[in-house]
Structure 1
Amino acid sequence: MTTSLPTRAGTTSTAAELTADRVTKSLLGYGVLAGPVYVVAALVQSAFRDGFDLTRHAWSQLAVGDFGWMQVTNLVVTGLMVLAFAAGLRRALRTGPAASWAPALIGVFGVSMVVAGAFPVDALGTESMSTSALIHFAAGGIGFPCLAAGLLVLARRLSREGFARHALATRIIAPLFLLSFVGMASGALGILAFVAGVVGVFGLVAVLAVHRYRQMPDTDG
């Protein structure tokens, strides 16, 4: 016998459906947590790391040295949270436009963060680039465009569903984030622009996670 449980919205869900929706909501919640965890952890490290200059050094350099394990952990944990969010997004979207591609592309970004953490960059001043550094930069070169692409695919669905403001914000922030990544090599302004891009895109992910969470059936019944 299947048990149905009432919700505040006046609909009913079976016990299995209610459990599944709660799991999906929990996974979406990691999209809210990922950005603040990554950004705050990186900023705290940069404030206390001797010789680190936020205007000249990329956050990847925090993974070098005696305390490098902190940034390695930050990258890996954040990447796993992005993967959890991507899984929740796939469950929430179910079918239709962006249901497969948006979560998959965002998931690739999550994997790229884990890989980047596992393979740190070289210390500043190293004459030849190590294999670890090459893998690190390759991970970013794949992951960042995938994140932007996944968000733009999701924007198409948001537009079709009538969420014009969310779609517009996504179509503005995702390309700007990608441009900031490309321009990071231009020097201090490029690095600061990329920091702003990272903060902006993770903020967007958080907003979209909350938005999709609110579209889910009520599970308080």
Structure 2
Amino acid sequence: MDTTSTVDVDAARLAGRSPHPHAVAQAPDAATRRLVLAGVVAGPLFVVAGLVQALAREGFDLSRHPLSLLSLGDRGYLQIANFIVAGVLMLAFAVGARRSLGDGPGRVWAPVLFGLYGVGLVLGGAFTADPALGFPLGTPDGYPTEWTFHGGVHAFAAPLAFLALVAVTFVVAKRLRWEGRRTAAAWSIVIGLACLVLCVPFGPAASIRLFVGVALGFAWITAYAVSLLRR
């Protein structure tokens, strides 16, 4: 923060007025910038890697099979790594967001929710889904009648991640309104509602909607991380 900004903030405080939020924002140091950058790259990496696998894996049909099933089979380790790497990047971003936000609404809950999203991704990779809908090839069609332990943890991790993602869009929207960025706040709410609808795991084209919802949520995270870097 330069000398002029510091004087303006101190004068506002002495006068009993709250300084403008941007006046008290602190420029992130190099370590914080690297942590925030993790939030920029997590989404594109996860979505592109998942889409490439969906197109390349024999027997996988994105119109029927959710991305989670890519963790199964001979090359399942690729999607397992995709989940875990994206989750670790989100955990790093959560720390970077906490160090970047300073005072104001969302400074506690936004990083917590970003972190929970990361935890859900890591769990989704470490604990694979049970075979379903004929994937991998040779497994029965339809859904399993009983869950294994791994499948049960995976089934818990998915809603944990999605709900944290939706919740953080509303928390950040409140923060953006406090910062005077009302249009960005409105878009944050719209995206959160869209993700909530798209990620409902049943109904027509559920797997495609799920993929679009994840991609949209990650795109929002990337945009928000970029906005933190630009301060």
Report the TM range for the smaller structure's normalisation: 0.7 to 0.9
Output the TM-score relative to the length of structure 1. Answer: 0.85
- Structure 2 match to 1:139: 157
- Structure 2 match to 1:218: none
* 1:209 matches 2:228: no
- Residue of 112, 115, 137 corresponding to 2:123: 115
* 1:159 matches 2:177: yes
Note if contact 1:83-1:110 (Cα within 8 Å) is conserved in structure 2.
yes
Q: Deviations over 1:159-200 (max 9, x none)?
A: 110112221111000121122112x3114x222122111111
Name the CA distance, whole Å, in 2 between partners of 1:38 and 1:201: 12
Q: What code does the residue aligned with 2:55 have?
A: A
User: What are structure 2's unaligned runs of at least 5 residues?
Assistant: 7-25, 133-139
Note if contact 2:28-2:100 (Cα within 8 Å) is conserved in structure 1.
no
Name the CA distance, whole Å, in 1 between partners of 2:151 and 2:97: 31
Q: Once the 2 structures are TM-superposed, how far is the Cα of residue 127 of structure 1 from its aligned partner?
A: 4.0
- Residue of 94, 97, 100 corresponding to 2:105: 97
* 1:30 matches 2:38: yes
- Structure 2 match to 1:40: 48
Q: What code does the residue aligned with 1:185 have?
A: F
Q: What code does the residue aligned with 1:213 have?
A: L
- Structure 2 match to 1:64: 72
Q: What code does the residue aligned with 1:192 have?
A: I
Q: Once the 2 structures are TM-superposed, how far is the Cα of residue 24 of structure 1 from its aligned partner?
A: 1.0
How many residue pairs get aligned? The number is 202
Name the CA distance, whole Å, in 2 between partners of 1:204 and 1:20: 21
Note if contact 1:166-1:208 (Cα within 8 Å) is conserved in structure 2.
no
Q: 1:135 to 1:22 in 2, by over 3 A?
A: same
- Structure 2 match to 1:199: 215
Calculate the aligned-residue CA RMSD, in Å. Answer: 2.1
Q: Once the 2 structures are TM-superposed, how far is the Cα of residue 95 of structure 1 from its aligned partner?
A: 2.1
- Structure 2 match to 1:186: 203
Note if contact 1:106-1:151 (Cα within 8 Å) is conserved in structure 2.
no
Moved more, 120-129 or 105-114: 120-129
- Structure 1 match to 2:189: 171
Name the CA distance, whole Å, in 1 between partners of 2:94 and 2:226: 13
- Structure 2 match to 1:219: none
**Which is higher, the Rg of structure 1 or of structure 2?**
2
Output the TM-score relative to the length of structure 2. Answer: 0.82
Q: Deviations over 1:56-83 (max 9, x none)?
A: 1000000011110000000000000111
Q: Once the 2 structures are TM-superposed, how far is the Cα of residue 10 of structure 1 from its aligned partner?
A: 8.4
